[in-house]
Chain A
Amino acid sequence: MSRSDVLVSADWVQDHLDDPKVVVVEVDEDTAAYDKNHIRNAVRIDWKKDLQDPVRRDFVDQAGFEALLSAKGIANDDTVVLYGGNNNWFASYAFWYFKLYGHGDVRLLDGGRKKWELDSRDLVDGSAVPERAATEYKAQAQDSSIRAFRDDVVAAIGVQNLVDVRSPDEFSGRLLAPAHLPQEQSQRPGHVPSARNIPWSKNANDDGTFKSDEELKALYEAENVDLSKDTIAYCRIGERSALTWFVLHQLLGQTNVKNYDGSWTEYGSLVGVPIELGN
């Protein structure tokens, strides 16, 4: 696997907007962003409504994912290109989710919506929704090798690499959520003992594009992450850590990396687990 298999430039997307086997999909933290405007011929996946079970805290099941992609007109052999706002946080989350259910060819638009906008590239009005014929999408069972659960995290303390990708202020316990969200939260602040704080933002340039493979490798080496060990990445709800998972697993080719989607909103609410405060 190489960078070009999973990451495409804005120019590449521009050249493939009318390619029927390439489906551009917008996945935004702000699920209404698509309604304002979006890349021409892009379809929307709503990370809350489409990707989460409506009752339990969990993902839609395999049949639910099949129904979603079928309705969106995405076929098993389509190339799916994901993009979104906030430096591709939720597009990365969707990338990981597509891989969890075994989609073959899925890629990220490097820099996401922000880079596209900062380049002053064309966006179409929100009402311009493409019509794609429904498919009969077949998903695979969830790939448990890339998803961590709370017991995996507790067992990994002091044993595996734990990478906390939140901002230093969330890691230390000064903030309970990213600073564009209100801070009142029910969970305890802090981080998992033995976790290294390597904010997701260190993976990216200001314009949201990913740093080079050499820069990324140097980043994790400088932070003393032993990539020969198993690694679990987490953040608050698993979207920023999906971006770090993308870097470690997809760009740097580490096979032993899991994303903990329960992340701090689950861990910080567990009774009796160890928590550390401060830097």
Chain B
Amino acid sequence: MCGAKAGGPDLAGVDVASETIIQGSVTRDGEPVNGYVRLLDEGGEFTAEVPTSATGQFRFFAAPGTWTLRALVPGATVDRVVAAQQGAVAEVAIAV
């Protein structure tokens, strides 16, 4: 297992200008955690979910607005609110 990497996955090959990206990492005591991250819309409704990578990272392609990230890992659930804009990358570090 690799260690945790700061920030979300590498953006090489991603058309950042046209996408609204929310990404980051999930860690416990600085180490990456295998789990899931859900993206909830402003009404709290599920929009998408991804498993974290081996380095604890995740990424969503959203729309501009306010979103909630919910990390689900064995034994814990943690929410983070994030504002996203088109052409920008919202980086979110979630410690559980």
Contact = CB atoms under 8 A, between A and B. Distances in A.
Contacts of A184: 15, 18-19
Given A87-B49, A183-B63, 5 more contacts: A30-B51, A167-B47, A178-B48, A184-B19, A206-B72
Contact of A182 (B15, B49, B77): B15
A203 B41 CA distance: 17
Given A179-B60, A180-B59, A118 B74 contact: yes
Contacts of A179: 39, 47-48, 60-62
Interface of B: 14-15, 18-20, 34-36, 38-39, 41, 43, 45-51, 59-63, 70, 72-74, 77
Nearest to B49: A86
A213 interface: no
User: What is the predominant secondary structure among interface residues of chain B facing chain A?
Assistant: strand
Interface size class of A (residues with CB under 8 A): 20 to 34
Interface of A: 30, 33, 85-87, 114, 117-120, 167-169, 174-175, 177-184, 199, 201, 206-207
B69 to A, nearest CB: 11
B41 A180 contact: no
B60 A180 contact: yes
Contacts of A183: 18-20, 61, 63
